[in-house]
Chains A and B, each alone.
Chain A
Amino acid sequence: MNVQARGLRKVYPGVVALGGADLEIPGGSILGLLGKNGAGKSTMIKVLAGVVAPDAGEILVDGAPIALGSPHDAAAQGFAFVHQELADVPNLTVAENVGLGLGYPTYPGGLVKRRALSRWAKEVLDRLEAPVDPGASLSSLSVAERRLVTIARGLAADARMFVLDEPTASLTDDEIEHLHKVLRSLRDQGVAIVYVSHRLDEVFAVTDRVTVMRDGHTVYSAATADMDKPQLIEEITGTAIAPEQRRRHVPADGADELLRVEGMSRPGVVEDVSFTLRKGELLGVAGLVGAGRTELMRLIFGADPATAGRVWLNGEELTIRSPRDAMAAGLALLPEDRKEQGGVLDFSVRKNITLTTMPRFRVARGVPMPNERRERATTRAFVERLKIKVANPEHPMRYLSGGNQQKAVLAKWLGSDADVFIFDEPTHGIDVEGKEEIYDLMTELAERGKGVIFISSEFTELVGACNRVLVMRDGRVVSQLEGSAITDAALVGLCYAHE
Chain B
Amino acid sequence: MSDDVPSPALVLDKQPDVNADPGAPLIAGAGGNRAGTFTETASRYGLLAAFLITIVVFSVARPSTFPTGRNVESILTSAAPPMILALGLTVVLVMQDFDLSIGAMIGLASGAAMNFMAKNGIDWIPAVLLVLLIAVAAGAVNGYMVAFLGGSSFIITLAMGTVLTGIEFAMTNQDTVYSGFSSSFQDVASGELLGLSHQIWIAAIGAVFIWLLLDRSEIGRYMYAIGGNSEAARLSGVRVRVLRLMGFVIVAIGAAIVGLLLTAQSGSYAPNIGTSYLLPAFAAVFLGAAVFRPGEFNTAGTIVGVLFLGVIQTGLTMLDLATYMINLVQGGILVTAVLVSRLGQRRAG
Q: Which segment, of A42-50, A100-108, A205-213, A327-335, faces chain B?
A: A327-335
Expressed in whole angstroms, the minimum distance between the Cβ of B169 and any Cβ of chain A is 39
How many A residues, CB 8 Å from partner?
Answer: 64
CB contact list, B1-57 vs A, under 8 A: 1-18, 20, 22, 25-32, 34
CB contact list, A354-380 vs B, under 8 A: 355-360, 362, 365-366, 368-370, 372-374, 376-378, 380
Expressed in whole angstroms, the minimum distance between the Cβ of A416 and any Cβ of chain B is 6
Partner of B235, one of A341, A345, A391: A341
Contact yes or no, A358 B29, CB < 8 A: no
* In the complex, B232 has a CB within 8 A of chain A: yes
A-B contact count (CB 8 A): 168
Expressed in whole angstroms, the minimum distance between the Cβ of B233 and any Cβ of chain A is 7
* In the complex, A445 has a CB within 8 A of chain B: yes
Contact yes or no, A382 B12, CB < 8 A: yes
* In the complex, A85 has a CB within 8 A of chain B: no
Contact yes or no, A340 B231, CB < 8 A: yes
Question: When A341-B231, A344-B225 are in contact, do A357 and B1 touch as well, CB less than 8 Å?
Answer: yes
* In the complex, B62 has a CB within 8 A of chain A: no
Contact yes or no, B235 A335, CB < 8 A: yes
Contact yes or no, B219 A368, CB < 8 A: yes
Question: When A373-B18, A400-B31 are in contact, do A368 and B10 touch as well, CB less than 8 Å?
Answer: no
Question: When A345-B229, A347-B225, A448-B9 are in contact, do A373 and B22 touch as well, CB less than 8 Å?
Answer: yes
Q: What's the Cα separation between A413 and B6 when bound, in Å? A: 13
Expressed in whole angstroms, the minimum distance between the Cβ of A442 and any Cβ of chain B is 11
Q: Which segment, of B75-83, B148-156, B236-244, faces chain A?
A: B236-244
Question: When A343-B229, A355-B221, A380-B17 are in contact, do A445 and B1 touch as well, CB less than 8 Å?
Answer: no
Question: When A359-B3, A390-B31, A392-B25 are in contact, do A415 and B231 touch as well, CB less than 8 Å?
Answer: no
CB contact list, B220-274 vs A, under 8 A: 221-222, 224-225, 228-229, 231-239
Question: When A380-B17, A381-B14, A414-B8 are in contact, do A390 and B225 touch as well, CB less than 8 Å?
Answer: no
Contact yes or no, B27 A347, CB < 8 A: no
Expressed in whole angstroms, the minimum distance between the Cβ of B236 and any Cβ of chain A is 5
Q: What's the Cα separation between A333 and B15 when bound, in Å? A: 25
Partner of A390, one of B3, B10, B27: B27
Expressed in whole angstroms, the minimum distance between the Cβ of A389 and any Cβ of chain B is 5
Contact yes or no, A380 B2, CB < 8 A: no
Question: When A323-B234, A345-B229, A376-B22 are in contact, do A399 and B31 touch as well, CB less than 8 Å?
Answer: yes
* In the complex, A32 has a CB within 8 A of chain B: no
Contact yes or no, A359 B1, CB < 8 A: yes
CB contact list, B154-186 vs A, under 8 A: none
Contact yes or no, B16 A381, CB < 8 A: yes
Contact yes or no, A369 B218, CB < 8 A: yes
* In the complex, A383 has a CB within 8 A of chain B: yes
Contact yes or no, B1 A374, CB < 8 A: no
Instruction: Write the chain A residue with the least CB distance to B229.
Output: A344
Partner of B239, one of A324, A359, A365, A448: A324
* In the complex, B216 has a CB within 8 A of chain A: yes
* In the complex, B217 has a CB within 8 A of chain A: yes
Expressed in whole angstroms, the minimum distance between the Cβ of B14 and any Cβ of chain A is 6
Contact yes or no, B32 A323, CB < 8 A: no
How many B residues, CB 8 Å from partner?
Answer: 51
Which interface residue of A327, A344, A368, A445 has the most chain B CB atoms within 10 A?
A344
Expressed in whole angstroms, the minimum distance between the Cβ of A342 and any Cβ of chain B is 6
Q: What's the Cα separation between A355 and B239 when bound, in Å? A: 12
Question: When A344-B228, A377-B18 are in contact, do A303 and B8 touch as well, CB less than 8 Å?
Answer: no
Contacts of A368 in B (CB 8 A): 217-219
Contacts of B10 in A (CB 8 A): 385, 414-415, 441, 444-445
Contacts of B232 in A (CB 8 A): 335, 340-344
Q: What's the Cα separation between A387 and B49 when bound, in Å? A: 40
Contacts of A414 in B (CB 8 A): 8-10
Contacts of A441 in B (CB 8 A): 10
Instruction: Write the chain B residue with the least CB distance to A324.
Output: B237
Contact yes or no, B228 A378, CB < 8 A: no
CB contact list, A308-358 vs B, under 8 A: 322-324, 327-328, 332-333, 335, 340-347, 351, 355-358
Contacts of B11 in A (CB 8 A): 444, 448
Contacts of B13 in A (CB 8 A): 381, 384-385
Partner of A399, one of B18, B34, B212, B229: B34
Expressed in whole angstroms, the minimum distance between the Cβ of B347 and any Cβ of chain A is 15
Question: When A343-B232, A351-B221 are in contact, do A415 and B18 touch as well, CB less than 8 Å?
Answer: no
* In the complex, A417 has a CB within 8 A of chain B: yes
* In the complex, A167 has a CB within 8 A of chain B: no
* In the complex, A412 has a CB within 8 A of chain B: yes
* In the complex, A450 has a CB within 8 A of chain B: yes
Which interface residue of B7, B15, B221 has the most chain A CB atoms within 10 A?
B221
Expressed in whole angstroms, the minimum distance between the Cβ of B342 and any Cβ of chain A is 16
Contact yes or no, B3 A356, CB < 8 A: no
Contact yes or no, A381 B15, CB < 8 A: yes
Expressed in whole angstroms, the minimum distance between the Cβ of A415 and any Cβ of chain B is 5
* In the complex, A428 has a CB within 8 A of chain B: no
Q: What's the Cα separation between A360 and B14 when bound, in Å? A: 18
Contacts of B9 in A (CB 8 A): 332, 413-418, 421, 445, 448, 450
Expressed in whole angstroms, the minimum distance between the Cβ of B181 and any Cβ of chain A is 39
* In the complex, A26 has a CB within 8 A of chain B: no
Contact yes or no, B236 A412, CB < 8 A: yes
Q: What's the Cα separation between A362 and B2 when bound, in Å? A: 10
* A373-B22, A415-B6, A415-B9 known, 18 other contacts, Cβ within 8 Å: A324-B237, A335-B232, A341-B232, A355-B225, A355-B233, A359-B2, A370-B218, A372-B22, A380-B26, A384-B13, A391-B28, A391-B32, A391-B34, A395-B32, A399-B31, A415-B10, A417-B8, A448-B11
Identify the B interface with A (CB < 8 A): 1-18, 20, 22, 25-32, 34, 212, 216-219, 221-222, 224-225, 228-229, 231-239, 295-296
6 A-B interface contacts by CB (under 8 A): A340-B229, A343-B232, A344-B233, A377-B16, A380-B17, A391-B27
Identify the A interface with B (CB < 8 A): 301, 303, 322-324, 327-328, 332-333, 335, 340-347, 351, 355-360, 362, 365-366, 368-370, 372-374, 376-378, 380-385, 389-393, 395, 399-400, 412-418, 421, 441, 444-445, 448, 450
Which 7 pairs between the two chains have the least Cβ-Cβ distance?
A: A391-B31, A377-B16, A344-B228, A414-B10, A399-B32, A327-B237, A324-B237
